[in-house]
């Protein structure tokens, strides 16, 4: 049954990483969209028909793009990871911020 | 000469691998119309091509996970090398044929089954036929996740569940977050997110799956004595494999795209983003941790999860059940084909035997292609409503239900 043990050991790590990156980044993306809508105001937000929508809030636009930037950074890390692994390097998180190390 | 057949068959497998798996990355983007169907397959094909070239890591020991035809350093077992390596070549050829036949059959039925399972299944079957039960690496040696159980069965059970949970959580949170934002506004934004996340899945797919075929071809070359370096893959093999998987992806397995994009869950752009992000994250995290898995299982799990996570979404559990049934029989079915092919090739013997196996493959592939023309599904009708259109070429009455 050693295989089952190894698999479960790996599984929870994958689940954790999946939740942070696979669910966390999309949620951040959603927050970005929400902020943009808040920033744009008007038709971007749900409001009663017949009246003008909520006023625009420039701060929302800023926060929105900030969220997108973080998401983009996450995606870029993903690509760097794929490329680095292909060339025999690995992405290391030992220093918290990612660094590329030789295998 | 057998070597030529093996290489051609391996590239054929790579090609079916590509078009079988287009759906994994692109089904959701096509279903939500984030991308035109043709644009989606072009993008995915291009990224698979790039991905395949990025995989310079040697995947020569790919068969070691399931069968014992190689030493741990990648060289073929010496016992199989007598007579120009024909014993090993026949096993590999029969295994590849098993994988292709099963891939084509599931494509005809519109079922997303795992290409890796088909390949491993074919190899296992051919190995059992050729070397007996002991030729298969069932359970590894206890030091790491290995063998049929550790590399194939356990990941197949765990990975869709993990991907499903991640996608469900993501979807649920996304819908919470965007309450109060006009739908047209969110849909536009999420379509961009979908394109990005689907691209990442395509890239990862090219890196992972093209490698397997490269490994198999190089193994065959070494067995035949045409290549000696176990640390590198011949450049022409790399180019051919990359082109084969990209061409397959571009052709697009429209039947499978339809099942994944429209059949399983009615997907809205936020769900598409959640599903593809979950797939990308789980695939990348797993390969980081050396946890082998099938892109197909992950993608399907994610799409199901995103249906579960959206309150009130329609999930067609019957379609899901049929898929799971296909997953369960993929390995044994491909194994049976692989074993039968090995017996045929072995009984006739020599090059004639291999040639007969190859001709049988061409015959079966041609037959299934003709069957598919009766109810074609292509980029024009891939997004038609699931329930209005009878999809039955995809599902002959009584089969698997």
CB contact under 8 A, A18 and B56: no
CB atoms within 10 A of CB A70: 16
Helices B317-348 and B350-374 cross at an angle (nearest 10°) of 150
Query: Where are the alpha helices (H) located in B231-349, listed in sequence order?
Result: 235-251, 254-258, 269-288, 295-309, 317-348
pTM of the model: 0.83
CB contact under 8 A, B182 and A46: yes
- The number of domains in chain A is 1
Regions of chain B with pLDDT less than 50: 389-401
A74: its two tokens: 């996450």
CB contact under 8 A, A79 and B140: no
Residue B294, pLDDT score: 83
Measure Cα distances from B300 to A27, B19, B21, B42, B251 in Å.
21, 16, 11, 21, 20
Residue A43 touches chain B, beta carbons under 8 Å: yes
Residue B394, pLDDT score: 44
**pLDDT of A49 above 70:** no
Q: What whole-number distance in Å separates Cα of residue B285 and Cα of residue A19?
A: 11
Measure Cα distances from A77 to A84, A97, B54, B264, B358 in Å.
10, 11, 15, 31, 43
CB contact under 8 A, B285 and A75: no
Residue A45 touches chain B, beta carbons under 8 Å: yes
Across the interface, of A40, A79, A87, the residue whose CB is closest to B203 is: A79
Residue A101 touches chain B, beta carbons under 8 Å: no
Measure Cα distances from B303 to A40, B28, B43, B308 in Å.
31, 8, 20, 9
CB contact under 8 A, A18 and B278: yes
Q: Using CB atoms and an 8 Å cut-off, which of residues 5-34 of chain A contact chain B?
A: 6-8, 10-11, 13-15, 17-23, 25-27, 29-34
The helix/strand/coil state of B172 is: helix
CB contact under 8 A, A27 and B288: no
Residue A80 touches chain B, beta carbons under 8 Å: no
Residue B15, pLDDT score: 92
Domain that holds residue A29: 2-102
A25: its two tokens: 């980044």
Contact residues on chain B for A80, CB-CB shorter than 8 A: none
C-alpha distance from A17 to closest chain B C-alpha (Å)? 6
Testing the interface with A: which of B28, B65, B177, B199 to mutate, by most A Cβ within 10 A?
B177
CB contact under 8 A, B285 and A19: no
Residue B244, pLDDT score: 92
Average pLDDT rounded to a whole number, residues A41-56: 71
Q: In chain A, which residue's Cα lies nearest the Cα of B195?
A: A75
B356: its two tokens: 């007969």
User: Confidence band (pLDDT; 50, 70, 90) for A95?
Assistant: low
User: Confidence band (pLDDT; 50, 70, 90) for A90?
Assistant: low
Residue B101, pLDDT score: 92
Helix, strand, coil abundance in chain B, percent, nearest 5: 70, 0, 25
Please give the distance of CA B289 from its chain centroid, rounded to a whole number. 20
Query: Where are the alpha helices (H) located in B32-114, listed in sequence order?
Result: 37-54, 86-108
Q: In chain B, which residue's Cα lies nearest the Cα of A29?
A: B193
Query: Where are the alpha helices (H) located in B290-316, listed in sequence order?
Result: 295-309
Residue B401, pLDDT score: 37
The answer for residues whose C-beta is within 8 angstroms of residue B195's C-beta and 6 or more apart is B29, B34, B35, B43
**For every residue of A46-58, which 3-state class applies, written as one string?**
CCCCCCCCCCCCH
**For every residue of B31-54, which 3-state class applies, written as one string?**
HCCCCCHHHHHHHHHHHHHHHHHH
């Amino acid at each position: 049954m050693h295989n089952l043990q190894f698999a479960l050991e790996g599984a929870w790590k994958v689940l954790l990483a999946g939740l942070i990156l696979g669910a966390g980044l999309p949620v951040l993306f959603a927050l970005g969209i929400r902020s943009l809508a808040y920033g744009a105001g008007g038709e971007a937000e749900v409001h009663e028909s017949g009246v003008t929508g909520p006023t625009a809030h420039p701060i929302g636009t800023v926060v929105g793009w900030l969220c997108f930037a973080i998401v983009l950074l996450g995606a870029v890390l993903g690509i760097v990871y794929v490329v680095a692994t292909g060339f025999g390097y690995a992405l290391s998180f030992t220093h918290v911020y990612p660094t590329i190390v030789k295998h | 000469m057998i070597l030529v057949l093996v290489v051609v068959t391996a590239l054929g497998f790579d090609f079916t691998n590509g078009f079988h798996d287009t759906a994994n990355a692109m089904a959701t983007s096509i279903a939500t119309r984030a991308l035109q169907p043709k644009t989606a397959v072009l993008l995915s094909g291009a990224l698979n091509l790039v991905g395949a070239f990025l995989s310079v890591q040697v995947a020569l020991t790919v068969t070691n996970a399931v069968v014992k035809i190689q030493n741990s350093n990648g060289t073929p077992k010496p016992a199989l090398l007598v007579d120009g390596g024909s014993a090993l070549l026949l096993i590999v050829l029969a295994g590849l044929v098993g994988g292709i036949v099963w891939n084509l059959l599931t494509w005809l039925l519109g079922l997303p089954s795992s290409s890796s399972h088909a390949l491993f299944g074919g190899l296992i079957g051919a190995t059992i036929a050729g070397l007996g039960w002991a030729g298969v690496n069932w359970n590894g040696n206890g030091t790491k996740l290995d063998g049929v159980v550790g590399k194939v069965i356990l990941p197949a059970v765990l990975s869709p569940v993990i991907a499903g949970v991640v996608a469900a959580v993501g979807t649920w949170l996304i819908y919470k977050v965007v309450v109060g934002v006009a739908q047209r506004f969110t849909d536009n934004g999420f379509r961009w997110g979908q394109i990005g996340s689907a691209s990442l899945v395509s890239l990862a797919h090219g890196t992972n799956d093209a490698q397997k075929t490269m490994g198999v071809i190089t193994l065959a070359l070494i067995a035949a004595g045409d290549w000696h370096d176990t640390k590198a893959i011949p450049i022409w093999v790399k180019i051919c494999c990359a082109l084969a998987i990209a061409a397959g992806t571009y052709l697009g397995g429209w039947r499978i795209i339809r099942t994944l994009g429209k059949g399983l869950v009615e997907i809205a752009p936020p769900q598409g983003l959640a599903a593809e992000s979950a797939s990308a994250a789980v695939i990348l995290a797993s390969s980081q941790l050396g946890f082998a898995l099938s892109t197909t299982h992950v993608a399907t799990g994610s799409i199901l999860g995103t249906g579960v996570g959206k309150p009130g979404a329609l999930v067609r559990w019957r379609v899901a059940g049929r898929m799971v049934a296909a997953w369960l029989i993929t390995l044994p079915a491909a194994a049976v084909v692989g074993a039968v092919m090995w017996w045929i090739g072995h009984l006739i013997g020599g090059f004639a035997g291999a040639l007969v196996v190859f001709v049988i493959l061409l015959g079966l592939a041609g037959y299934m292609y003709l069957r598919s023309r009766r109810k074609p599904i292509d980029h024009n009708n891939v997004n038609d409503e699931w329930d209005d259109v009878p999809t039955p070429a995809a599902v002959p009455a009584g089969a698997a239900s």
